[in-house]
Amino acid sequence: MTAPRRRILVIIEEADLARYAALLEAASSDWEIMTLSPHEALAQPIEQEPLDAILRIGGDMPEEWHARWGRSRARPLRLRLSDGARRACRCSEGPWDWILPASCSWADLAALLPPGSQGAGREVPVRKVLLAGEATVGKTSLVTFYLRRAFDPRRQMTIGVDIHICPVEVEGMAVRLVVWDVGGQRRFAALRDLFYRGAAAGALVFDLSNRLSFYQLLGWWQELRTRIGPIPLLLVGNKADLPREISRLEAESLARAWNMPYFETSCVTGTGVPEFFRALAMAALRGVPPGSPMA
């Protein structure tokens, strides 16, 4: 049985992402995680998103943001980690349900969160996988299409990393993919090392309508190979619905040279998306690093 997904929004300054990478890693086996900077959270109407909890790491949010939630019918649990807090404090007044010390662990936080999928579906194998590739090639859209079977044209750049839980069935067997969807912007390069740990497989994604994104694959391939070793990788040409700058033949010859299977996908029509996720799950089952906590 597939456990229901629970979603947490983590509002965090980009500069703090490295410090909290271990917390995100611990949370990712049970929670789907969206990270936003405070500025982004303020700019986006996130009170319309289905969220079970919000975790603010750092200072308070502006009054205007709290007021928006006050008008919303959604009531996710609101937690804040603050450098100023000495111990966990339940707030009977004010916008936060709990204020906790910045040093608290995921186990401390999980104890406060609503029960849901924790423990459920434990018999299902869980594998961490990566989506890598330049900004705007469509990594987040691939996951969104897979989970919702619909294209969402609103562009939301990934800040650091988003972590999605994708149930996949391969040959009658259920697998839970914890997909680390890594922001492709150059400024996240230093952070990515922390996010790559423990991955069982990955995909290199490029945009078929953008030759530059194809050339830039070499840098991504080198980055994955040097930082995480010989895990199985897949090559994905996305945006197959747009006029192409890269032919199938050209992409297939690169895939052959790198010894990877090749997929073409479109997040607008859905072509190839379920097939790609099934192949990624199969690769992850094959590629789990021995002795890994995810095994």
Ligand X SMILES: Nc1nc2c(ncn2[C@@H]2O[C@H](COP(=O)(O)OP(=O)(O)OP(=O)(O)O)[C@@H](O)[C@H]2O)c(=O)[nH]1
Contacts to Mg ion by CB under 5 A: 139-140, 158
Task: Tell whether residue 238 is a contact of ligand X (CB under 6 A).
Answer: yes
User: Which residues 6+ apart lie within 8 Å of 119 measured at CB?
Assistant: none
What residue has token string 């004010």? 94
Task: Tell whether residue 37 is a contact of ligand X (CB under 6 A).
Answer: no
For 107, counting Cβ atoms within 10 Å of its Cβ (0-12 exposed, 13-18 middle, 19+ buried), the class is exposed
- Please, which residue, 76 or 138, has the CB nearer to ligand X? 138
For 110, counting Cβ atoms within 10 Å of its Cβ (0-12 exposed, 13-18 middle, 19+ buried), the class is middle
Task: Tell whether residue 241 is a contact of ligand X (CB under 6 A).
Answer: yes
Task: Tell whether residue 271 is a contact of ligand X (CB under 6 A).
Answer: no
Site for ligand X in 101-160 (CB under 6 A): 135-141, 153, 155, 157-158
Structure tokens at 88: 């966990």
Out of 3, 18, 26, 268, the only residue in the binding site for ligand X (CB under 6 A) is 268
Task: Tell whether residue 242 is a contact of ligand X (CB under 6 A).
Answer: yes
In the complex, what is the shortest distance from the CB of residue 130 to ligand X, in angstroms, rounded to a whole number? 12
Q: In the sheet where 31-36 sits, what is the strand order?
A: 89-90, 98-101, 77-82, 53-57, 6-12, 31-36, 161-170, 173-182, 126-132, 201-207, 233-238, 262-264
In the complex, what is the shortest distance from the CB of residue 132 to ligand X, in angstroms, rounded to a whole number? 9
Task: Tell whether residue 213 is a contact of ligand X (CB under 6 A).
Answer: no
Q: Which does 210 bind (CB under 5 to 8 A by kind): ligand X, Mg ion, none?
A: none
Binding site for ligand X (CB under 6 A): 135-141, 153, 155, 157-158, 183-185, 238-239, 241-242, 266-268
